[in-house]
Amino acid sequence: MPSHPNSVTIIGTGSYAPSNVVTNDDMAKIVDTSDEWIRTRSGISARHFAAADETTSDMACAAAERAIEAAGIERNEIDLIIVATMTPDMPFPSTACLIQSKLGLPNVTTFDMQAACSGFVYALSVANSMLLSGNFNKALVIGAEKMSGILDFEDRTTCVLFGDGAGAAVLSAEQTTEKVGILGVLGGADGSNPSLLQQPAGGSAIPATTESIASRQHFLKMNGKEIFKAAVRVMGQASTDIIEQQSYDPEDLNLVIPHQANMRIIESLAKRLSIPMEKFHNNLDRYGNTSAASVPIALDEAYRAGRIQSGDLILLVAFGAGLTWGSTLIKWQ
């Protein structure tokens, strides 16, 4: 382990989506909606839904295996696992612990973190600090969600928007002559109006009862219009702040990987940064909103598609329930 690492680089990525592809036309058989409405309002054409017996940790392990293979390391070199999810296999133990066992990693510190759709970007920030401390050497950072398990398939305003999947990255602490990899991280939160996007029941506020189940309180609820407005504001601010913090200009960016929630939100971000949509990697049309998995799935796709080269400047930016938001600037190595 380097005694004084000064850089944290992403040395491998992986992703996984369940085989069951559900189109907008399929959704129109469940709720009163149409392919035209979903596509024009959100940009989504299809999403993947996990099988009934396929868990968040199963999807996370599939993505992690690919990331470890891409990193070309021995799995027992990993000494830290952080899993960003708001749909864990169960409230406890953590999904990260279940992944530790499934992957057979005996010497790791593991925990989940919950920052909703910003989770992966938050997790990168935490892993970055832990690796720079010199106490850890290689981290597995995963964003994984089984959103289909908390969707209300009687609520057309939400169930058409989300999908399941997982993305993972292996991070390595390095000693380099100039700083590369994760250049900077930034996060924010405003918890003053949690009901904008929440799963009301299942915690200490509304424990599971027959009433909480009958009144559908265990499903995701969202005020889409208000979330949309907040998303446009905080995605723009989180992006410009991190670019400024690192003394770059938006035109220096080679690629932007934004949270995949709504194409109109992403278009407004492109406009705010005055950079063309070609510099964005989007897969919302095929995945829907996979919450904490959306950024790492898109990152893995972009890398495997040859859209990321050594030396590229890449912006990751996300927002989600809380509200939370976060951004990361990476000099790819």
For residue 91, whether the previous peptide bond is cis, meaning omega lies within 30 degrees of 0, is: no
Q: Based on CB atoms, which residue is closest to ligand UT7, 5 or 288?
A: 288
- Contact between 37 and ligand UT7 (CB under 6 A)? yes
Q: Based on CB atoms, which residue is closest to ligand UT7, 79 or 164?
A: 164
Q: How far apart are CA 61 and CA 68, in angstroms?
A: 10
Which residue of the chain is nearest ligand UT7 when measured via CB?
A: 224
For residue 323, whether the previous peptide bond is cis, meaning omega lies within 30 degrees of 0, is: yes
Per-position x/- string for 120-159, each x denoting binding to ligand UT7 as judged by CB under 6 A, each - no binding: ------------------------------------xx--
Q: Which of 9, 15, 24, 42 binds ligand UT7 (CB under 6 A)?
A: 42
Q: Based on CB atoms, which residue is closest to ligand UT7, 67 or 263?
A: 263
Instruction: Please report where in the chains the tokens 């169960």 appear, as a residue.
Output: 90
Closest separation in Å from C-beta 35 to ligand UT7:
10
Cα separations in angstroms, 106 against 1, 14, 51, 101: 18, 21, 29, 8
Q: For this structure, is 137 an active site residue? A: no
Q: Which of 80, 121, 186, 231 binds ligand UT7 (CB under 6 A)?
A: 231
Catalytic residue among 24, 48, 259, 282: 259
Q: How far apart are CA 146 and CA 142, in angstroms?
A: 13
Q: Based on CB atoms, which residue is closest to ligand UT7, 136 or 219?
A: 219
- Reported residue count of the chain is 333
Q: For this structure, is 159 an active site residue? A: no
Judged by CB under 6 A, the chain residues 245 through 264 that form the site for ligand UT7 are: 261-262
Judged by CB under 6 A, the chain residues 72 through 91 that form the site for ligand UT7 are: none
Q: Based on CB atoms, which residue is closest to ligand UT7, 225 or 271?
A: 225
Judged by CB under 6 A, the chain residues 287 through 306 that form the site for ligand UT7 are: 289
- Contact between 225 and ligand UT7 (CB under 6 A)? yes
- Contact between 160 and ligand UT7 (CB under 6 A)? yes
Closest separation in Å from C-beta 12 to ligand UT7:
26
What are the φ and ψ backbone dihedral angles of 121, each rounded to 5 degrees?
Answer: -70, -40
Q: Based on CB atoms, which residue is closest to ligand UT7, 113 or 140?
A: 113
Q: For this structure, is 117 an active site residue? A: yes
Could you list the active site residues?
A: 117, 259, 289
Binding site residues, ligand UT7, CB under 6 A? 33, 37, 41-42, 117, 156-157, 160, 197, 222, 224-225, 227-228, 231, 261-262, 289, 320
